Amino acid sequence: MAYEVNKNPKETNIPQDEEIIKNNSHSSVKFKYVKLGYHYVISNLLYLIFFFLFIPFVVVPITKQDITQLWNNNYNLLKPNHLSILTLFVFLAMLVSLHISRGKKRVFLVDFACCKPNPSFKTSKTTCVDRIAQYGTFTQQNIEFQKKLFERSGVGDESYLPDSLTNIPPNPTMEKARKEAEDLMFVAIDELLAKTEVLPKDIGILVVNCSVFNPLPSLSATVVNHYKLKEDIVTYNLAGMGCSAGLISIDLAKDLLQVHPNSYALVVSLESLTQNWYCGNDRSMLISNCLFRIGAAAILLSNKRCDSHRSKYELVHVVRTHKGANDKSYRCVYQRDDETGRRGISLSKDLMVVAGEALKTNITTLGPLVLPISEQLLFLASLFGKKVLRMHKIKPYVPDFKLAFEHFCIHAGGRAVLDELEKSLKLSQLHMEPSRMTLYRYGNTSSSSVWYQLAYLEAKGRIKRGDRIWQIGFGSGFKCNSAVWRALRNINPNEEINPWMSEIHKFPVNVLQVSPIIMTNTK
């Protein structure tokens, strides 16, 4: 069953319109095959040139006498001279530089695990609105405002919130916040260690990211203490870097693996909500209440060659974009106190514009690394015509990233973000399915959401050897980060343990544009 958005397009039975649609359909199909043919010709241009250059040698037979004559005529040119020596040195320099460029250690993703919180933490949208009404801190207008946000959020009724928030009165203490973070991390890490059969003492690098909960000692120290990791372990704790911090952690772990041979790196991504639920009446801070939910992911990376045969993926590229130099970008996601002293995260009305600009910058860097030459030439031709020839009527060419990737894991920040990226990247509903279903089932789990999406693809049995996966994360600052993975083997869902497995048969589901919440009493 394909994912569908509930829409009501107008239908028509006019034969003329049907004929026009039919003709347009044929034209689009023809254009599709023309473009596909162009893509294959350009992508294999070197092979075609090589083939045509050697046709004469195949068609016209070369005898032993021809080879002897060729050798005698060119013997003098083969004698050592300054030019030949220089050519030899250039050739050797090219070989050395090629060896150095390929000398980077390969980084493998052995496996990963996502936390499925305790079923007792499941919280429906109706329960959320009911608790909001009982808090006693919101105006009636803002209770209704949040109710409308919940109805349009794209989040379902089985996502998870900590009991410190759903209890009346709420109890957002440091002890509760620490317990929430520990429970999430330990569930994910325990599952990962069981799947990979790696011992805690074998882990040499640890990177933990959590944006808005930063206790002392740090969360990375908490992991070291709980699992009794070795004394010389290299640890980092990333804070305040928003929902894209998970991919920043991957990039940091990748760099560390380049200088620490024969090592395992454990990356843990999570967010804590206990002390970050906003109870004031500044509407710019209320949106996060309706989207963010608890979740965590643990990822094991390795630079050991012996792990290549059992690993799931290889890290191909990480591209990071930071727009923090621009004031509008810097303040579009901003933690602050409101007029009454209540702390929350303010989301600017410019968020979608800022995110679009960050994505554009990111894919401008990523594109040449992953796109086939055919798409790069089309993009350059469009840019040349617009900027150099001043042909302003030409629309900017948007590269077809579907030619570069089989799967897309786009941060489930909210329905509006996903709608905009689906439109901008011209993705299909199937490509967007992992992100939309993750938002629906688990909500916005911040930096761990891209891992819930990859787990969804694995549970569906869609990952095949050689498939390329693009993870995209957005975060405060403002940042847009990308990670590109290549599948090293087919993923058999029957052998997988992940939070989707027991219910994957239920998905995808039809998510309504508006899911009405019926309240019996909001006073």
| Active site residues per annotation | 243, 322, 407, 411, 444
Report how far Cα 494 is from the mean position of its chain's Cα atoms.
24
Q: Which residues lie across from 113 on neighbouring strands?
A: 298
Cβ of 187: how many Cβ atoms within 10 Å? 19
Query: Which of 146, 152, 117 lies closest to 130, judged by CA?
Result: 146
Give the C-alpha separation, 485 to 105, whole Å.
15
C-alpha distances (whole Å) from 309 to each of 74, 304, 345, 458 are 49, 10, 44, 18
SS3 of 181, please?
Answer: helix
Give the C-alpha separation, 177 to 278, whole Å.
15
- The answer for residues whose C-beta is within 8 angstroms of residue 491's C-beta and 6 or more apart is 312, 458, 461, 463, 464
Dihedral sign of CA atoms 388, 391, 396, 399 in order: negative
The phi and psi torsions of 198 (rounded to 5 degrees) equal: -90, 135
Give the C-alpha separation, 71 to 213, whole Å.
75
C-alpha distances (whole Å) from 487 to each of 266, 407, 454 are 19, 11, 11
SS3 of 245, please?
Answer: helix
